[in-house]
Amino acid sequence: MSITTASSEQAMEKKRLRIAIQKSGRLTDDTEKLFRAAGLKFNESRDHLLAHAENLPIDILRVRDDDIPGLVMDHVVDLGIVGQNVLEETAMQREVDGMPTGYTQVMIMNFGDCRLSVAVPSEDDWHGLKDLEGKKIATTYPFLLRRVLKAQGVNYKAVILNGSVEVAPRAGLADAICDLVCTGATLQSNGLKEVETVYTSKAVLISRDQPLYPEKQRMLDILVQRFKGIMAAAESKYIMMNAPKARLEEIRKILPGAENPSIIALDGNPDRVAMHVVSREKVFWETLEQLKKLGATSILVVPIEKMLD
Ligand code: PRT
Ligand code: ZN
């Protein structure tokens, strides 16, 4: 057991970045994968509320996603990773409750994509949001829903549910729902059709709206640079091929996001060169087939692990 005095705790508070992440849910795996790729090493299991990185001055607080915005806004943690849907909904709720709502969005992540949509029974006619006039709508996001329907002048009754929203129409609890959708499979299997998207969301990294201690700010800058490098690398590919010199311009045109390729002479073959290039966009089979048609051979597409510009 370690004994920490009040003053050493204060010193820690000045030095170690504290980040709140979802304990167990749709954002957890992507968040932890990103942390590992950024070089953070944690020993503790997921059951621990607080985990200390062994190799960097960073502590992770594992909580329910709904608690993350409040922990940042109340300055309990320095940073949080949460869906924009939960962040905005919580901010509007806290505003009504007279609680602090300040935060800074540091960066948008490349995971947690979803949309908040209105869905109605598949057999219902749909002409637009005005069809919701006088209807009961089940949702977990009453504030995001209200923002959109108020702007449209629609009067409705919100039925607030924290789970199983998609069964509300069948159970006779509501006429329509407003819920998160990713693939749409859940709506379909509950006899519902998506009719209007009211909000699109991604996971975001947010920080408290107060300057950080300089050591923490330095650590945050490093972390953000690493996150950006990992995200850029995830979308990029290293492409290698042998190509006819005469078609190089055409080849470059079909590789968007491929800046400054390296062209290497091929021994004993004056008409052909090796071309190496980093493409910052997804490379599809169709692109490779087009390259082949232009005379490229030995085409290799290789994933990139890390990238620092
Ligand atoms: O326990 P805790 O409170 O932490 O978790 P939670 O159950 O409240 O949240 P969780 O883990 O389900 O989602 C966390 C965040 O992930 C959400 O706030 C969104 O920002 C994001 N996200 C991305 C999603 C989805 N995709 C998603 N598909 N959140 C929920 N869903 C639900 C959707 O509502 C539907 O019921 O998943 C179901 C399946 O979706 P389909 O369309 O793919 O069938
Ligand atoms: Zn939640």
Domains of the chain from N-terminus onward:
3-112+203-233 (3.40.190.10), 120-201 (3.40.190.10), 236-303 (3.30.70.120)
Which atom in ligand 1 lies closest to the alpha carbon of residue 186?
44
Task: Compute the chain's Rg from CA coordinates.
Answer: 25
pLDDT: which is higher, 282 or 64: 64
Whole-number Å distance, alpha carbon 53 to ligand 1 midpoint, is: 27
What is the per-residue pLDDT for 268? 92
Ligand 1 site residues (CB inside 6 A) read: 22, 25-27, 64-66, 83, 85-86, 112, 114, 166, 179-186, 201
Cβ–Cβ < 8 Å for 250, 244: no
Whole-number Å distance, alpha carbon 260 to ligand 1 midpoint, is: 41
Q: Is 85 exposed, middle or buried (0-12, 13-18, 19+ CB in 10 A)?
A: buried
Question: Of 1-5, 141-145, 197-201, where does mean pLDDT reach its minimum?
Answer: 1-5
Whole-number Å distance, alpha carbon 173 to ligand 2 midpoint, is: 22
Whole-number Å distance, alpha carbon 114 to ligand 1 midpoint, is: 8
From 22, 23, 26, mutation site for ligand 1 pocket: most ligand atoms within 8 A of C-beta: 26
Whole-number Å distance, alpha carbon 69 to ligand 2 midpoint, is: 11
Q: Confidence band (pLDDT; 50, 70, 90) for 171?
A: very high
- How much of the chain, in percent, has pLDDT values that exceed 90? 84
Question: Of 173-177, 186-190, 228-232, where does mean pLDDT reach its minimum?
Answer: 228-232
What phi and psi values does residue 60 have, to the nearest 5 degrees? -110, 130
Measured by CA distance, the residue closest to atom 6 of ligand 1 is 25
Q: Confidence band (pLDDT; 50, 70, 90) for 92?
A: very high
What is the per-residue pLDDT for 1? 42
Which atom in ligand 1 lies closest to the alpha carbon of residue 188?
44
From 22, 66, 182, mutation site for ligand 1 pocket: most ligand atoms within 8 A of C-beta: 182
Which atom in ligand 1 lies closest to the alpha carbon of residue 26?
11
Q: What's the CA gap between 190 and 166, in Å, rounded? A: 7
DSSP 154: -
Measured by CA distance, the residue closest to atom 24 of ligand 1 is 114
Q: Which residues of 68-225 form beta strands (DSSP E)?
A: 79-83, 104-108, 114-121, 136-139, 157-160, 176-181, 192-201, 203-207
Whole-number Å distance, alpha carbon 160 to ligand 2 midpoint, is: 14
What is the per-residue pLDDT for 23? 96
Q: What's the CA gap between 16 and 157, in Å, rounded? A: 46
Whole-number Å distance, alpha carbon 48 to ligand 2 midpoint, is: 18
pLDDT: which is higher, 152 or 44: 152
DSSP 163: S
Ligand nearest to the CA of residue 86, numbered in listed order: 1
* pLDDT, averaged across the chain: 93
Which atom in ligand 1 lies closest to the alpha carbon of residue 166?
36
What is the per-residue pLDDT for 148? 97
Q: Confidence band (pLDDT; 50, 70, 90) for 284?
A: confident
Q: What is the mean pLDDT of residues 216-222?
A: 96
Ligand nearest to the CA of residue 64, numbered in listed order: 1
Which atom in ligand 1 lies closest to the alpha carbon of residue 179?
34
What does the DSSP assignment read for 214-255?
HHHHHHHHHHHHHHHHHHHHHH-EEEEEEEEGGGHHHHHHTS
Measured by CA distance, the residue closest to atom 26 of ligand 1 is 114
What is the per-residue pLDDT for 107? 98
